[in-house]
Amino acid sequence: MFDDVVQFIQNIYKTKGFIPLHEPLFIGNEKKYLNECIDSTFVSSVGKFVAQFEEKIADYVGSKFAVATCNGTSALHIALLLANVSKDDEVITQSLTFVASTNAISYCGAQPIFIDVDKDTMGLSPKALQDFLEANTTIQNQQCINSTTGRIIKACVPMHTFGHPCRIDQIKDICDKYHICLVEDAAESLGSLHNRLHTGTFGKMGVMSFNGNKIITAGGGGCIITNDEGLAKRAKHLTTTAKVPHMWKLVHDMVGYNYRMPNLNAALLVAQLENLDSFVIKKRELASIYSDFFNKTACNFIKESKNNRSNYWLNGIILQDKKQRDVFLDETNSKDIMTRPIWAMMNKLPMFERAQCDDLGNSEWLEQRVVNIPSSIIEL
């Protein structure tokens, strides 16, 4: 049924062997910087590459500060703590997301509220957010109170799905109106812009991931970006086990976390950043080729929406229904082409099944139809 798709992807990647969904590309100074790091013996979280990476990533996205962490989930956990999210508070996010987004909320002892997404961006819908807040909340003492639960809604975590920016400017306006702290999950959208501004820079804080399958990677790693110097300092303190700086005393003034990025990972990322612009160009070229091909088929290729520039981290298509989606997944994977469905909705997982939700109609529709196809950076 999908032989033409299989052959097309094999032709792009010039192989009938295994084609991964997304593999890293190391073509620059990675080995050079790693050797420098090893020779220095500073391989843990103290070393020059950590500081270099923080400076370079902040400059790239147009943020004043960046704090490097060991992964994206730890970055989101700390960002939520800095947003004063604590036990029995509530955080709004989308149900159609990777589980790490919701896990970080749980680490704070808070409860998620799942709101629907827009079909075109697959990210949190500002209309759904506005409708939920109008119908279910009141403002008391500059706090947003959930009328159903009586809890305070402290934060909102929208995600830029597969690198496609959501309508983050509209979401920010709504969050500001309702006194909700906006924390952007930009884990997948390094190199993506909304209205010419980089994702992750609209909220009080943004978080990024450099996991092994991301557009640039160190095998792991994450960061918090912010324009607030006080938040940046607190983030660095909390992620460094809350150790009070001193020449030799070992004093910690609060419960902290061992979340800092090791120098080894940072060395890789400094090298990867040097090629990021070319990576984004190549990924957008691949997306254009996919778009031209799928325009001639019954599959709908997912394109960037108006006012957005996507990094096309993972290319996606929309099938007609769940049955056709499953046939596509079976046929491609049986031919050694790695394809994957979008995530299971968070409210369907056992640990989050009691969470408050809106109708999630778009999320349900997308969950049954979206498939990711191979998206590795290649020479075309």
Domains of the chain, each with CATH number or no CATH: 3-21+276-373 (3.90.1150.10), 30-273 (3.40.640.10)
Give residue 197's pLDDT: 98
- For the chain, the maximum distance between any two Cα atoms, rounded to a whole number of angstroms, is 68
The beta-carbon contacts of 320-326 under 8 Å, at least 24 apart in sequence, are: 320/369, 321/368, 321/369, 322/368, 322/369, 325/368, 325/369, 325/370, 325/371
* Averaged pLDDT for residues 101-116: 98
Q: Is pLDDT of 222 > 90?
A: yes
d(Cα 177, Cα 200) in Å, to the nearest integer?
Answer: 19
Give residue 379's pLDDT: 85
Beta-sheet strands, E only, within 227-318: 300-301, 308-309, 315-318
* Type of residue at 137: T
* Averaged pLDDT for residues 221-249: 97
- Give every CB contact of residue 234 below 8 A, 6+ residues apart in sequence: 82
Cβ atoms of 61 and 225 closer than 8 Å: yes
* Averaged pLDDT for residues 356-361: 98
pTM for the full model?
0.97
* Averaged pLDDT for residues 14-19: 97
The length of the chain is 380
* Averaged pLDDT for residues 333-344: 98
Q: Is pLDDT of 380 > 90?
A: no
Q: For 10-32, give one letter per residue: b (16+ CB within 10 A) or e.
A: bebbeeeeebebbebbeebbbee
Mean pLDDT of the chain: 97
298 — pLDDT class (breaks 50, 70, 90) = confident
